Amino acid sequence: MRIVVLVGVAFILHVSQLNAQSLQPGFDKLEYEELIKVSARTAKAGLYADTFPPTERFRMVYESPVMGLENLWDLWTDDKGQAVISIRGTTPDMNSWLANIYAAMVPAIGKLELEEDYTFEYQLASHPQAAVHVGWLLSTGYLVRDILPKLDSTYKAGTKNILIMGHSQGGGIAFLMTAYLYSLQKSGKLPGDIRFKTYCSAGPKPGNLYFAYAYEAMTYGGWAFNVVNAADWVPEVPLSIQTVTDFNVTNPFTNAKAAIRKQKFPNKLVLKYVYNRLSKPSIRAQRNYQKYLGKHTSKMVGKKLNGFQAPTYYNSNHYVRTGATIVLQPDSEYRSRWQDSETNVFVHHVHAPYLFLLKRLP
């Protein structure tokens, strides 16, 4: 009798393992299609989600409260061993836009004092020159405080395959969220057998080149993508300013001034003039960027978030496109449906044109 019971238990466990779906590397068109349907409902925009067909695979099991700068996330499950962390993008609320406008950079290792009793400590990359968008990092700090307990309970219930999805601002946050969760795994604070797979959708540029290198290395092998409509302007922001200090340590610009001083007159004078004309405008622009989209904007953030302390900024704003990119290329039929507009700047950015172009992708 005991043997029969044991055999029965083994059979049940075997069947449950067969029913559980393991995440596979690589871009999966149908997987992203289901996630964009999920994302449209995370938007919480009233009738907006009703214009989309429902997801056939996932059901929502948790909806977070609004936190931080109007940030919100949902937890979804397919009841077969996979769950989705779906991060909301920008809303019409000005506080939500504040997370985008707060575009100074901070080091990818450090801490943010978000509230009087909450300091968000993070490590998103190990390179000392890696830096990220402070507004979306702030949003990440608020969201992870709510996400981690749910992730723990989901794991204890047997789900070890986690999809991370974010559209627009949600995509910008998803980059940083992914890096943060990987760092927790590396430090042993999250189980190492959780498999994450990330789909940023219409994601903007989250950080500098050193962060991009780190992110692409940690998700190497087909575990993260940014899906981009080539007609959409959002993946082109934030504005990027590259200065001579943004290069690797070994570069021809480090000792340029000393090399110029060794030249004979008048070559020295000409080279010095040309070098200053090329380098100083970008340095000045970077300082203004940090002044207005960092120091000044932080005052508005402080009025919204009680106890927030502005961090020390990283002296760069060299934002770059990050991660493996899946390009959705508009054709003539797309252009007949979604035409460029001077009044509707989001005509190419919302979920509908992305879903249309996805269906045309081979």
Q: Which residue has the higher pLDDT, 10 or 72?
A: 72
CA separation for the pair 61, 289 (Å, rounded): 41
Position 261 scores a pLDDT of 75
Q: How many residues belong to the chain?
A: 362
Instruction: Give the mean pLDDT of 135-156.
Output: 98
Give the residue among 291, 273, 271 at the shortest CA–CA distance from 283: 291
Instruction: Give the mean pLDDT of 98-102.
Output: 98
The contacts of residue 204 (CB under 8 Å, 6+ apart) are 100, 168, 169, 171, 172, 234, 235, 236, 237, 238
Query: How would residue 131 be classed by pLDDT, with cut points 50, 70 and 90?
Result: very high
pLDDT score of 119 more than 90? yes
Please report the domains of the chain, with CATH numbers, ordered by start residue. 22-241+306-359 (3.40.50.1820)
Position 16 scores a pLDDT of 43
pLDDT score of 278 more than 80? no
Q: What is the pLDDT of residues 172-220, one digit of tens each?
A: 999 999 999 999 999 999 999 999 999 999 999 999 999 999 999 999 9
Position 269 scores a pLDDT of 66
Give the residue among 179, 224, 189, 185 at the shortest CA–CA distance from 31: 224
The contacts of residue 320 (CB under 8 Å, 6+ apart) are 205, 207, 208, 209, 212, 240
Lowest mean pLDDT, pick from 21-25, 225-229, 337-341: 21-25
Sheet containing 82-87, strands listed edge to edge, beginning at the edge strand earlier in sequence: 59-63, 73-77, 82-87, 161-167, 195-201, 224-229, 324-328
Give the residue among 232, 238, 211, 209 at the shortest CA–CA distance from 297: 238
CB 54 within 8 A of CB 32: no
Instruction: Give the mean pLDDT of 218-240.
Output: 98
Residue 185 CA, chain-centre distance (Å), reads 18
CA separation for the pair 330, 266 (Å, rounded): 53
CB 108 within 8 A of CB 214: yes
Q: Which stretches of the chain are DSSP H helices?
A: 2-19, 29-42, 94-101, 134-156, 169-186, 209-218, 256-261, 267-290, 297-304, 332-337, 351-359
Position 287 scores a pLDDT of 96
Q: What is the pLDDT of residues 334-359, one digit of tens each?
A: 999 999 999 999 999 999 999 999 99
Query: How would residue 85 be classed by pLDDT, with cut points 50, 70 and 90?
Result: very high
